C-alpha cells in the first residue's frame, strides 16, 4: 500500500550525457520505427499479469516531466493518480530545497507498513513521505521491503540528477553545446546554399548535366527549356524543404540543453515522433490495399491485352465467326478495352487510400454534375457512332456522300465522322446527323461484291436523231475513257420521251473509285467530242429552237 504523507515532496530527474543531445536527430527515425513496429516483428514482450486490485497502468510521480516513482496502489482506497499528483508537487519542492540531502531519504519498517521519508541530520523528527503495505509489493511482484528500497533509491537518484542538471557546470555545458550546434547549423546552411547555387548554374548552362526534352512514345511532352525550368523548381522546393525540416529538428535539440526548457523539448520531440509514427502507420496500413490495387491492375492489364489480341486476330482474319465482320474488330476492341478499364477502376476504387474522404466525395459529385450537363448530346452522338459501326455503313478510307458532302472517310470516331473532300477540306459531321441522313458509299461495291461502282450521266437528244445512233455514240465515248472499267460493259437506257427531246442515260463502271470525279469529267468530255464529231445536237438542258435561220448549236468538228 502506498500513500503520501502531507507536507513532503520528492523530485527526481534523469541527466542525459551531453553527447546524446547531438545524436537526437539521428535517433528519431529509429525510435519512430521501433514505436510503430507490429507486435511480434521486433519481439514485443507479452502483457504482464496484473494482480487483482492493482491499477493496470500506474500513476507516476514526476520531476520536471521525468518519471520517478510509479504508484499502482494507494492507501485507504485512494486514487493512485491523485496521490501521484500530490507527490509530484512535494517532490519538486524537496528537490529544490538545498537543506535536504539525497542521503536523508531513508526507509523505516514497521509491523504493517514500510515508510519512506526524510530524516534530517540535525536529529529532527522523521517525516513520512510514502507508506507501503504488502499489497503495494504484490502489485510489482516483490516484497514490501524490496519495493520500499527501490522507491528510496529512485528518489535519491532523482534529487541528485536534478541538482546536477541545475548546477553552474551543467548550464555552461549546455550553453557550449548550444553554441556548437548553432555554429554547425550556420555552416551547414552556408554549404547548402552554395550547393544549391552550383546546381542551379549547372542546370541553367546544361554543361555538367545532360538535359534534353522529355518525350513519351514519340511525343515531345516537354522542351529542353521546360525541363530545365522544372528542375530549377524542384531544386528550390527541395532546398527549402530540407531547410525547414532541419530547422525544426534543431529547436528541440537546443531546448534540451537547458533544464527549464527540457519539458518543452520533450513535447516537440513527441509531436515529431507522433507525426512520423502516424505517417509510417498509414503507409504500413495502406500496404495491403496497395498490393490489392497492384493485383487488380495486373489482372486488368492482362485482360486488356488478351482482349486486344483476340480482336486483332479477328481483324486479320485468323479468327473468324460468321456473325462478326473483320471491320468491327478495331472499334469493338476499343469499346471492350474501355469497359475493362472502367470495371478495373470501379473494383480498385474502394482500396485507394482516402477513397472515403470528403475530397473524393466532392470530386465524384463534381464529375457527376459535369456528366449530367453534357450527357444528352454526347450520349446521342456516341450511340449514333456505335450504330454506324455495327450497321457497316462505311469504313475509314471509303468514298462516301453524307448530306451532300462527298469525300473520303478520314476518321470514324464515337462523336463525329470526318470527311476529306476532293479539295482537301476536312468536314466534321456529328454522328447524330449522319445516322439521320442517307449515306452513299462508293467503295462498298468493290469491297463487298468485288465489282466496280457504276457511274451514270444523262443527255437529251432531239427526235430527229435515230436512237441507235445515239446509243452507238454514247458507248463509243465510254470506251474511249481510260478510267472506265472493262469488267462490266457500259450500257444505255432511254429514260423518258420528253416534249422536245429524248433522255438517254449512259451507265459505265469506274475502275478506281478514288478517281470518281475525274472519270466523270473525262466521260462528259468524251460524250461532247463524240456527238460533235457526228454533228448531233445535244439538247441538255432542254430547250427548243425555232428554225428560222438561226445557227445550230452543234459544235464545229475539230480540225485534225
Same-domain check for residues 364 and 507: no
Same-domain check for residues 158 and 80: yes
Same-domain check for residues 383 and 511: no
Give the global pTM.
Answer: 0.46
C-alpha cell at 81: 493518480
Instruction: Provide the pLDDT for residue 476.
Output: 93
State mean pLDDT over 346-371: 75
Query: Please, what is the end-to-end C-alpha distance for the chain in angstroms?
Result: 138
CB atoms closer than 10 angstroms to residue 260: 9
SS (H, E, C) 344-396: HHHHHHHHCCCCCCHHHHHHHHHHHHHHHHHHHHHHHHHHHHHHHHHHCCCCC
Instruction: Provide the pLDDT for residue 517.
Output: 86
Degrees to nearest 5, angle at CA 329 with 325 and 331: 120
Is pLDDT at 164 greater than 70 in this prediction? yes
- Where is mean pLDDT largest: 102-106, 143-147, 179-183, 550-554? 179-183
Instruction: Provide the pLDDT for residue 434.
Output: 86
pLDDT tens by residue, 493-539: 999 998 888 999 999 999 888 888 889 999 999 999 999 999 888 88
Is pLDDT at 555 greater than 80 in this prediction? no
Return the H-helix or E-strand segment holding 481. none
Rounded to whole angstroms, the Cα distance separating 540 from 459 reads 6
Instruction: Provide the pLDDT for residue 472.
Output: 94
pLDDT tens by residue, 371-404: 665 556 666 767 777 777 777 778 888 888 888 8
Rounded to whole angstroms, the Cα distance separating 318 from 326 reads 10
Q: What is the CATH number of the domain that holds 491?
A: 3.30.70.100
Same-domain check for residues 455 and 375: no
Is pLDDT at 345 greater than 80 in this prediction? yes
Same-domain check for residues 444 and 482: no
Rounded to whole angstroms, the Cα distance separating 317 from 391 reads 20
Instruction: Provide the pLDDT for residue 372.
Output: 62
Return the H-helix or E-strand segment holding 192. helix 168-205
Instruction: Provide the pLDDT for residue 370.
Output: 62
Q: Which of 417, 448, 479 marks a domain boundary?
A: 448
Per-chain mean pLDDT for the chain: 78
Is pLDDT at 20 greater than 80 in this prediction? no
In the three-class reduction of DSSP (H, G, I as helix; E, B as strand; rest coil), residue 305 is classed as helix
Is pLDDT at 55 greater than 80 in this prediction? no
Model confidence at 122, in pLDDT bands (50, 70, 90)?
low
Number of folded domains in the chain? 3
Is pLDDT at 543 greater than 60 in this prediction? no
Instruction: Provide the pLDDT for residue 506.
Output: 95
pLDDT tens by residue, 24-38: 434 444 444 444 444
pLDDT tens by residue, 450-475: 888 888 999 999 888 999 999 999 99
Lowest mean pLDDT among 16-20, 53-57, 336-340: 16-20
% of the chain residues with pLDDT over 90? 17
Instruction: Provide the pLDDT for residue 491.
Output: 94
Same-domain check for residues 431 and 487: no
Rounded to whole angstroms, the Cα distance separating 89 from 156 reads 16
Same-domain check for residues 46 and 80: yes
Residue 501 pairs in a beta bridge with 462
Is 552 part of a structural domain of the chain?
A: no
Lowest mean pLDDT among 142-151, 152-161, 164-173, 336-345: 164-173
Instruction: Provide the pLDDT for residue 304.
Output: 93
User: Which letter does DSSP use for residue 484 in this model?
Assistant: B
Instruction: Provide the pLDDT for residue 109.
Output: 82
Instruction: Provide the pLDDT for residue 227.
Output: 76
Is pLDDT at 553 greater than 50 in this prediction? yes
379 phi/psi in degrees, rounded to 5: -65, -40
Domain ranges, residue 386: 357-448
Instruction: Provide the pLDDT for residue 15.
Output: 44
C-alpha cell at 139: 502489485
Same-domain check for residues 68 and 147: yes
Instruction: Provide the pLDDT for residue 117.
Output: 79
Q: What is the CATH number of the domain that holds 376?
A: 2.30.30.60
Is 557 part of a structural domain of the chain?
A: no
State mean pLDDT over 293-299: 94
Same-domain check for residues 463 and 390: no
Same-domain check for residues 39 and 156: yes
Is 175 part of a structural domain of the chain?
A: no
Is 192 part of a structural domain of the chain?
A: no
Phi-psi region of 427 (alpha: psi -120 to 50; beta: other; left: phi over 0): beta
Is 322 part of a structural domain of the chain?
A: no
Is 287 part of a structural domain of the chain?
A: no
Is 102 part of a structural domain of the chain?
A: yes
Same-domain check for residues 397 and 515: no
- Where is mean pLDDT largest: 84-98, 211-225, 292-306? 292-306
Instruction: Provide the pLDDT for residue 542.
Output: 55
Q: Which of 380, 414, 448 marks a domain boundary?
A: 448
Is 117 part of a structural domain of the chain?
A: yes
Q: Which of 166, 192, 226 marks a domain boundary?
A: 166
Instruction: Provide the pLDDT for residue 369.
Output: 67
Same-domain check for residues 434 and 462: no
Model confidence at 41, in pLDDT bands (50, 70, 90)?
very low
Amino acid at each position: 500500500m502506498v500513500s503520501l504523507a502531507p507536507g513532503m515532496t520528492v523530485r527526481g530527474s534523469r541527466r542525459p550525457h551531453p553527447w546524446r543531445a547531438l545524436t537526437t536527430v539521428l535517433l528519431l527515425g529509429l525510435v519512430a520505427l521501433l514505436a510503430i513496429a507490429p507486435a511480434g516483428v521486433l519481439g514485443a514482450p507479452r502483457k504482464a499479469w496484473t494482480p487483482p486490485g492493482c491499477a493496470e497502468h500506474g500513476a507516476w510521480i514526476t520531476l520536471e516531466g521525468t518519471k520517478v516513482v510509479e504508484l499502482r496502489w494507494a492507501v485507504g482506497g485512494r486514487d493512485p493518480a491523485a496521490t501521484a499528483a500530490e507527490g509530484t508537487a512535494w517532490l519538486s519542492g524537496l528537490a529544490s530545497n538545498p537543506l535536504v540531502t539525497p542521503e536523508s531519504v531513508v526507509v523505516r519498517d514497521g509491523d504493517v507498513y514500510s515508510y519512506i521519508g526524510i530524516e534530517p541530520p540535525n536529529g529532527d523528527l522523521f517525516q513520512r513521505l510514502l507508506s507501503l503495505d504488502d499489497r503495494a509489493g504484490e502489485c510489482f511482484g516483490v516484497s514490501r521491503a524490496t519495493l520500499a528500497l527501490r522507491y528510496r533509491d529512485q528518489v535519491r537518484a532523482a534529487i541528485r540528477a536534478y541538482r546536477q542538471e541545475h548546477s553552474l557546470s551543467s548550464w555552461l555545458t549546455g550553453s557550449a553545446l548550444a553554441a556548437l550546434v548553432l555554429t554547425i547549423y550556420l555552416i551547414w546552411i552556408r554549404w547548402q546554399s552554395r550547393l544549391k547555387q552550383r546546381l542551379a548554374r549547372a542546370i541553367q548552362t546544361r554543361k555538367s548535366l545532360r538535359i534534353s526534352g522529355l518525350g513519351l512514345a514519340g511525343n515531345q511532352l516537354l522542351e529542353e527549356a521546360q525541363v530545365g525550368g522544372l528542375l530549377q523548381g524542384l531544386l528550390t522546393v527541395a532546398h527549402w524543404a530540407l531547410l525547414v525540416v532541419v530547422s525544426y529538428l534543431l529547436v528541440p535539440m537546443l531546448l534540451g540543453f537547458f533544464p527549464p526548457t527540457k519539458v518543452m523539448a520533450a513535447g516537440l520531440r513527441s509531436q515529431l515522433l507522433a507525426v512520423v509514427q502516424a505517417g509510417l502507420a498509414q503507409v504500413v496500413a495502406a500496404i495491403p490495399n496497395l498490393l490489392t490495387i497492384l493485383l487488380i491492375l495486373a489482372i486488368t492489364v492482362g485482360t486488356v491485352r488478351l482482349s486486344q489480341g483476340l480482336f486483332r486476330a479477328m481483324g486479320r482474319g485468323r479468327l473468324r465467326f460468321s456473325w462478326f465482320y473483320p471491320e468491327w474488330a478495331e472499334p469493338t476492341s476499343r469499346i471492350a478495352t474501355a469497359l475493362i478499364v472502367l470495371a478495373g477502376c470501379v473494383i480498385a476504387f474502394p482500396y485507394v487510400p482516402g477513397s472515403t474522404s470528403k475530397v473524393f466525395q466532392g470530386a465524384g459529385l463534381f464529375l457527376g454534375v459535369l456528366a449530367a450537363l453534357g450527357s444528352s448530346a454526347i450520349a446521342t452522338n456516341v450511340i449514333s457512332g456505335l450504330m454506324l459501326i455495327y450497321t457497316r455503313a462505311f469504313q475509314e478510307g471509303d468514298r462516301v456522300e453524307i448530306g451532300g458532302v462527298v469525300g473520303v472517310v478520314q476518321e470514324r470516331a464515337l462523336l463525329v465522322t470526318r470527311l476529306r473532300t476532293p479539295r482537301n477540306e476536312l468536314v466534321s459531321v456529328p454522328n447524330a446527323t449522319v445516322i439521320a441522313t442517307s449515306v452513299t458509299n462508293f467503295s462498298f461495291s468493290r469491297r463487298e461484291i468485288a465489282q466496280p461502282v457504276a457511274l451514270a450521266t444523262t443527255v437529251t437528244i432531239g427526235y430527229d436523231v435515230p436512237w441507235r445512233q445515239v446509243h452507238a455514240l454514247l458507248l463509243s465515248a465510254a470506251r474511249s475513257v481510260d478510267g472506265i472499267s472493262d469488267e462490266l460493259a457500259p450500257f444505255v437506257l432511254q429514260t423518258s420521251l420528253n416534249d422536245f427531246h429524248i433522255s438517254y442515260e449512259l451507265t459505265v463502271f469506274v475502275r478506281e473509285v478514288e478517281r470518281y470525279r475525274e472519270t466523270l469529267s473525262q466521260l462528259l468530255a468524251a460524250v461532247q467530242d463524240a456527238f460533235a464529231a457526228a454533228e448531233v445536237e445535244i439538247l441538255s438542258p432542254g430547250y427548243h429552237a425555232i428554225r428560222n435561220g438561226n445557227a445550230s448549236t452543234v459544235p464545229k468538228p475539230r480540225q485534225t
